[in-house]
Amino acid sequence: MPREPLPYTPGVAGVDEVGRGALAGPVVVAAVILPPEFDTIGIIDSKALSAAQREEAAERIRAEARYTILFASAEEIDAKNVLRATLDAMRESLIQLKANEAIIDGNQLPPGLPCPATTLVKGDSKDASIAAASILAKVARDNHMVEMADNYPGYGFEGHVGYGAPSHLGAIKSLGPCPIHRKSFEPIKSLINQPCLTLDL
C-alpha cells in the first residue's frame, strides 16, 4: 500500500542532520524550505529510500526548494562534542537560509536561533520539509564519504560511510585511525591512548 504524502507548511524551514553516530567523517546538516504546491510523493525519511531514490529526490528538491547544506568536520566534533557541533551547524544553516520559521528534527532546539522554531521527534517521518532536509544531508554525506574513500583507501568508506561496521572496526585496528576519524569516539580514543601504539595523525 503506497504511503500517504507527508504534510508540510510552505515557508517553514525543515532541518535535519545525518552522521551523528558515525566514527568517521562529518555530521551534515540541511535546512530546506519547500515551495507551495511541492509534490511530496517520494519525499520521506532518507533511511527508507534506496540510494537511487534518494538521488532522484535530492535532484528535485535542489531544483525547486531553497536550501542550505553544512558540514561539521570530525575535527570540529572532537573540539566541541558531536551534539554542540550539530546544533551549531543547525543554527548556521538557518542563518544562511534567512529562514523566518523552522521545524527541527529531534527534541532539542539549538541556542541562538535567528527565527522562531519548534522541534518534532521523528520529524523526518512526519513532515516533508524535514524529510527533504534528511535526504539532502544523507546524499551530501554519502557522496563526501565516497570521495574520502579515494583519499584514505583501505577503510571501506564507500560502503559503510564511516559508521561502525565490523569491516570498519577491523580496518581501524589494523591501519590505525586516519585524519577524518573522530578521535573523541570509542574505540578510536582508546586506540590513540594506547602507550604502545604510535600513530601518525
Please say if the pLDDT value at position 197 is more than 50: no
Query: At how many degrees (to 10) do helices 51-64 and 128-151 cross?
Result: 120
Task: Give the domain 13-193 fold.
Answer: Nucleotidyltransferase; domain 5 (3.30.420)
| Pair type for strands 117-120 and 102-105 | parallel
The DSSP string of the chain is -PPPPPP--TTPEEEEEE-TT-SBS-EEEEEEEPPTT---TT---GGGS-HHHHHHHHHHHHHHSEEEEEEE-HHHHHHH-HHHHHHHHHHHHHHHHT-SSEEEESS-PPTT-SS-EEEETTGGGT-HHHHHHHHHHHHHHHHHHHHHHHHSTTS-HHHHTTS--HHHHHHHHHH---TTB-TTSTTHHHHHH-TT-----
Tens digits of per-residue pLDDT, 86-145? 999 999 999 999 999 999 999 999 999 999 999 999 999 999 999 999 999 999 999 999
Q: Which pLDDT band, with edges at 50, 70 and 90, does 199 fall under?
A: very low
Q: Which pLDDT band, with edges at 50, 70 and 90, does 196 fall under?
A: very low
* Predicted pLDDT of residue 3: 73
Residue-range domain boundaries for the chain = 13-193
Tens digits of per-residue pLDDT, 168-194? 999 999 999 999 999 999 999 998 876
Tens digits of per-residue pLDDT, 39-93? 999 999 999 999 999 999 999 999 999 999 999 999 999 999 999 999 999 999 9
